[in-house]
Amino acid sequence: MAKAICTVALALLAAFSAPLAFAQSKRVEATNLPDHPFQVDYPAGSQLSVYLRSGDVRVVGGTENKVSVRVDAKDMEKAREVRVTFDRSEHSAELHVSGGPRNDIQITVEVPKDTGLYVRMPAGQLEITDVAGDKDVQLHAGELILHVGSPADYSYVEASVTTGGLEAPPFHEDHGGLFRSFHKSGNGKYRLHAHVGAGDLTLR
């Protein structure tokens, strides 16, 4: 009898403690992306902060409520060293992508199409496309291409380069040289901030 009561008690403890452990587990880490692409559920309409390694990176909006990271590299053995860390809180998350070979690698991050983005990257080529939401994107050096959709979607737009080229056909802006920038205000619901330290910024 005592043994039966003990067994039931342990079962109840496991049943109640398992969901608690899952709820407290907010960090997911992954490597070996060539063989096991990273993917985690994440609801549309949320805020996502993305911290990227230097290189050739694409951030694209997808139809699923998921965040995924894929790699395509000449040296797939070295590409297994790319590390992804995903930290989630109640209404937002942080995605960190680091490591891997210095050259000949392309990283693709897919997010829900309706996502507010905060993106920071040291250097390289960064392209963001098919993402509807607030965008705050900075690249220290290199080329940033940001597909903005309709200009009418934005309540505020701020774009700048410290040195380089700034092209924004949707907003009828084209500048080059030192400390180039422009600001726009509108009636949309999104805000856009984009900055490149040294290089080229293109809003399409």
Distance, C-alpha 188 to centroid of its chain: 23
Alpha helices (H) in the chain, listed in sequence order: 2-24, 76-79
Q: Structure tokens of 79? A: 């590409």
Number of C-beta neighbours around residue 10 at 10 A? 10
Please report which confidence band the pLDDT of residue 23 belongs to, taking 50, 70 and 90 as the band edges. very low
Is pLDDT above 60 for 81? yes
Of 69, 12, 82, which is closest to residue 38 (Cα–Cα)? 69
Please give the pLDDT value at position 59. 98
Output the six-digit token pair for 180.
Answer: 């180039």
Question: Could you read off the pLDDT of 164-198 as tens digits, one per residue?
Answer: 999 999 999 999 889 999 999 999 999 999 999 99
Quickly state the pLDDT bin for 160 (edges 50, 70, 90): very high
Given this model, what pLDDT does residue 90 score? 80
CA angle 41, 47, 49 (to 5 degrees): 90
Residue 191 and residue 156 in contact, taking contact as beta carbons nearer than 8 Å: yes
